[in-house]
Amino acid sequence: MSEFPIIERNRVRRVPKRGQYDKDTIYRILDEGLVCHVGLAEDGQPVVIPMNYARRDDAVILHGAPASRLLKYVQAGHPVCVTVTLLDGLVLARSVYHHSMNYRSVVVFGRGRLIEAEQEKLAALEVLTEHILPGRWQDARRPNRQELDATAVVSVAIESASAKVRTGPPADDEDDYQLPVWAGVLPIQQQALTPVNDPRLHTDMPVPHSVSNYRRTR
Amino acid sequence: MSEFPIIERNRVRRVPKRGQYDKDTIYRILDEGLVCHVGLAEDGQPVVIPMNYARRDDAVILHGAPASRLLKYVQAGHPVCVTVTLLDGLVLARSVYHHSMNYRSVVVFGRGRLIEAEQEKLAALEVLTEHILPGRWQDARRPNRQELDATAVVSVAIESASAKVRTGPPADDEDDYQLPVWAGVLPIQQQALTPVNDPRLHTDMPVPHSVSNYRRTR
């Protein structure tokens, strides 16, 4: 299956032409993002928490302290929502009304389970680490037994998902194209700046290529 | 009151030393962000949707189509959660376990109301427009009656909020500082690139300074 079925829960309702349901689009967005926003519902009270994440196959992996309220909630199997948004630009139209943003977002619905087996847990932590910086699992010291015990890792199986994408210039009303107003797109991009050495770094330690050549887009 | 009281709902539980509750910190983060993630709870099902927003005094303003399920939910006065996250860097430690991110995030709890009076609605749309690009309300064509009717604007009064902030280098275990692993911070910043003219722009229209000199940090 390369497309998530469109059901009531994941159907894109506002501007439906922007909705996309194929796994390729959805997974490319999930693989580019660095932060997701995880939504819980606790007795009718929604809570949205930013987290690191990574996708592995048809699941989103989250991790944190075993005492984390959020992870306890997720691993209990309650329904959760995981949303990732990439902002690509400000869409500056001639009319205030047609101002918009170019973006790519994904909303995932699913339920989590705790990853308990040591090998699977290590594999999931490798995916999380490599998601942030490819090569880092090789370069850094891997987790020891004590650190593994102090880390909870959950896997949220993606039951349903949708992407929403806007690209391109503003779409003004026909009459407005004659107005003396600059219109266009101001592209926005999350960029890596110059790496900052740890103050306690040995003086002869070069910045690895994985860091100095960091590019988020895959 | 310049600080939100720490109650069960907004207390930062994971790494409490990163929690901040003063309005100055919280509002500076809200004023810098471009996208918020709004959380709803519909019969126990959490839903997290990315939206534009702006802060005005002690409220977060959202807008969209009057038929929007999310806005209908918010204006009905259900509890909502609005979260804004600014990513500032990848924290690359010597051990995988101490990898982290530098970030500033705000979690807001509150309830919404529909803004119905025309003058208040226009004022709220001005705040939303100026939040994205200062000067744009002056430059672009303002909403007419038909456009106002086609826009729902809600104000979410901030009942409680907290910020969470991490800055600085990695914090490795003492024994790990001798490892031959590069460690430090890779700063990440959302940057504006070169503006792209609308394909139908009149040829003699210059890019305004508000666009060409765009800086998000206030």
Residue A75 and residue A113 in contact, taking contact as beta carbons nearer than 8 Å: yes
Q: Which CATH architecture has domain B16-170+194-212?
A: Roll (2.30)
* Residue labelled with tokens 């979690």: B107
Rounded Cα distance between B108 and A48, Å, is 9
Q: What distance in Å separates residue A94's CA from the closest CA in chain B?
A: 5
Residues of B in contact with A136 (CB under 8 A): 92, 96, 99
Which residues 74-113 of B are in CB contact (within 8 Å) with A? Answer: 78-83, 85, 87, 89-90, 92-97, 99, 101, 103, 105, 107, 109
Query: E strands, chain B, where?
Result: 19-20, 36-42, 45-51, 54-56, 59-64, 79-92, 100-114, 152-166, 184-192, 196-197
At the topology level of CATH, where does A16-212 sit? Pnp Oxidase; Chain A (2.30.110)
Put simply, whether B49 touches A (Cβ < 8 Å) is yes
Q: How many whole angstroms separate alpha carbon A161 and alpha carbon A28? A: 13
A50 Cα to chain B: minimum distance (Å):
7
Quote the CA–CA distance of A203 and A172 in Å, as a whole number.
Answer: 56
Q: Say yes or no to pLDDT of B118 above 60.
A: yes
Given this model, what pLDDT does residue A15 score?
84
Report the amino acid identity of residue B190.
Q
Q: Are A34 and A192 in contact (CB under 8 A)?
A: no
Are B185 and B131 in contact by the 8 Å Cβ rule? The answer is no
Give the closest-approach CA distance of B130 to chain A in angstroms. 10
Residue with tokens 């208040």: B120
> What stretch of H or E contains A88?
strand A79-92
Residue A193 forms contact with B (CB below 8 Å): yes
Phi-psi region of A163 (alpha: psi -120 to 50; beta: other; left: phi over 0): beta
Q: Which among B97, B147, B184 has CB closest to A195?
A: B184
Residue contact A193–B170, C-beta within 8 A: no
Name the nearest CA neighbour of A210 among B90, B102, B171. B90
Q: What angle do CA B62, B134, B110 make, to 5 degrees?
A: 25
Q: A105: how many CB neighbours lie within 10 A of its CB?
A: 23
Q: Does B120 touch chain A (CB under 8 A)?
A: no
Residue B86 one-letter amino acid: L
Q: How far is CA B8 from the centre of its chain?
A: 23
Torsion-angle region of residue B126: left (phi > 0), alpha (psi -120 to 50) or beta?
Answer: alpha
CB B127 within 8 A of CB B61: yes
State the amino acid at position B32 in one-letter form. E
- Contact by Cβ (8 Å): A41, B87: no
Question: What is the structure's pLDDT at A1?
Answer: 58
Residue A48 and residue B82: Cβ atoms within 8 Å? Answer: yes
pLDDT at A18 (0 to 100) = 87
Chain B residues near residue A153 by CB distance under 8 angstroms = none
Picking from B40, B65, B194, the nearest residue to A14 by CB comes out as B65
**One pLDDT digit (tens) per residue for chain A, 218 residues:** 588 888 888 888 888 888 899 999 999 999 999 999 999 999 899 999 999 999 999 999 999 999 998 999 999 999 999 999 999 999 999 999 999 999 999 999 999 999 999 999 999 999 999 999 999 999 999 999 999 999 999 999 999 999 999 999 999 999 999 999 999 999 999 999 999 999 999 878 999 999 999 998 75
Chain B partners within 8 Å of A137 (Cβ): 96
For residue B1, the model assigns a pLDDT of: 58
Is residue B124 within 8 A of residue B156, CB to CB? The reply is: no
Give the CA angle between residues B136, B38, B44 to the nearest 5°: 160
Instruction: State which amino acid sits at residue B208.
Output: P
Nearest neighbour of B48 by CB, restricted to A37, A176, A177: A37
Contact B46 A81 (CB under 8 A): yes
Q: Across-strand partners of B158?
A: B110
Q: Is B209 helix (H, G, I), strand (E, B) or coil?
A: helix
Q: Give yes or no for B7 touching A (CB within 8 A).
A: no
Q: Which single residue is written with the structure tokens 């009281």? A: B5
Of the candidates B46, B89, B195, which has its C-beta nearest A80's C-beta?
B46
Handedness of CA B5, B60, A35, B50 (dihedral sign): positive
Give the tens place of pLDDT for each residue, A37-56. Answer: 999 999 899 999 999 999 99
What pLDDT digit, counting tens, does each position of B58-114 carry?
999 999 999 998 999 999 999 999 999 999 999 999 999 999 999 999 999 999 999
Could you tell me the residue ranges of all domains in chain A? 16-212
B218 has a pLDDT exceeding 90: no
Distance from CA of B210 to the nearest CA of A (A): 11
Chain B's closest residue to A195, CA to CA, is B186
Q: Pairing mode, if any, of strands B196-197 and A184-192?
A: antiparallel
Interface contact B140-A211, CB threshold 8 A: no
Per the prediction, chain B carries an average pLDDT of 95
Question: Is this structure's pTM higher than 0.90?
Answer: yes
- Whether A155 and A113 have beta carbons less than 8 Å apart is answered as yes
pLDDT per residue as tens digits for the range B169-193 = 999 999 999 999 999 999 999 999 9
Number of Cβ pairs < 8 A linking chain A and chain B: 294
Q: Which of residues 126-165 of A touch B (CB under 8 A)?
A: 129, 132-133, 136-137, 139-143, 147, 150-151
Q: What is the pLDDT of residue B203?
A: 78
- A93-97, B7-11, B114-118: which has the minimum mean pLDDT? B7-11
**Which of A45, A48, A176 lies at the smallest CB-CB distance from B141?**
A176
CA dihedral B60, B65, B67, B71 (to 10 degrees): -10
Q: What pLDDT does A181 receive?
A: 97
Q: How far apart are CA A60 and CA A86, in angstroms?
A: 17
Residues 6+ apart with CB under 8 A from B156: B59, B60, B61, B62, B74, B80, B82, B108, B110, B111, B112
